Amino acid sequence: MKKKNKTLSILLFLFFAVVVLITMLPLILLLASSFRPGSDLMRFGLNFDIDWTMANLDNYKLLFSGQNNYFNWYKNSLLITVIQVVLALFLSACVGYGFAMYDFRFKNLAFACVLVVMMIPTEVIILPLYRLIIGMGIMDNMWGIMLPYIVAPMLIFFFRQYLSGISKEFLDAARVDGCTEYGIFFRIMLPLMKPSFAAMGIYQGMSSWNNFLWPMIVMRTQSKITLPVGLQSLMSPYGNNYDILIAGSCFAIIPILILFVCFQSYFIEGMTAGGVKG
């Protein structure tokens, strides 16, 4: 039996090692290609047939030379992502908390509306959103990008489901001790919600950082566009700046890696943590 279990463990290890390798191949290819000359990339494209004698750091030198708007785009994306994630987590947590812990008229109907909105692709409502943003006068402004996403139906649904697993006895005990409703949320519920904040922080951070279509529609000034839009602008019928594109794409992955590394312990905890059921 022990020998059989050991063999099974080895097979599982080999299987997952192959899965990890296949998953990492695009990243490895991207990183390796970032050391190739731009002319070489234009001629042969991305492939593993790399002449390492021609490998150099010229692409990264060009990226850091300041001859392009790359780090301005990077700053724009970073600022929008941080503000959007903080606002989306807080506001969506408030709404999810209300759905999970309080009973009010038309509660189920309101939550059904949240589910319906969650199932509608953003592309379907782009035109009315565009008209709304124009009417509010926030075109070519970072708030025009963030406003439609700061209360996210997906986050509301997740927080509501997470908080439904926490006993309402916490609230009753706090009220008996004289704690206000705001005090209950900020002093008791928020600490219990750390794993859910970590999980949704990673999800919302990736969505905001990689958002392409809506920022491309809203922003019109070259210096205000976000990183995905800026990288796409490097590809044109008049020339393809692979030098900055490939090296810049490597740097674009860094914030998401940092986000996951910082919150992975809470994220893993969120897979198993729950509340005390009454």
DSSP state of 240: E
Question: Which own/partner contact pairs does 44-49 have at CB distance under 8 Å and 24+ positions apart?
Answer: none
pTM to 2 decimals? 0.84
Radius of gyration of the CA atoms of the chain, in A = 24
Comparing C-alpha atoms, which of 82, 71, 69, 38 is closest to residue 56? Answer: 38
User: pLDDT tens, position by position, for the chain (278 residues)?
Assistant: 666 778 888 888 899 999 988 988 888 888 888 888 777 777 776 777 777 777 788 888 888 887 778 889 999 999 999 999 999 999 999 999 999 998 888 999 999 999 999 888 888 889 999 999 999 999 999 999 999 999 999 999 999 988 888 888 888 888 888 888 888 889 888 888 888 898 888 889 999 999 999 999 999 888 889 999 988 887 765 556 777 888 888 889 988 888 888 877 776 665 555 444 44
- Among left, alpha and beta (phi > 0; psi -120 to 50; other), residue 36 is beta
| CATH superfamily assigned to domain 70-272 | MetI-like (1.10.3720.10)
Q: What pLDDT, on a 0 to 100 scale, did the predictor assign at position 112? A: 93
> 275 and 101 in contact (C-beta within 8 Å)?
no
* Backbone angle region of 173, left / alpha / beta, with phi > 0 → left and psi within -120 to 50 → alpha: alpha
β strands within the chain, DSSP E: 235-236, 239-240
Side-chain half-sphere exposure of 33, counting CA atoms within 13 A: 26
C-beta separation of 164 from 107 below 8 A: no
Domain extents in the chain: 2-63, 70-272
Distance CA 273, CA 275 (A): 7
Give the residue carrying structure tokens 């674009």: 252
Extract the tokens encoding 134.
């124009």
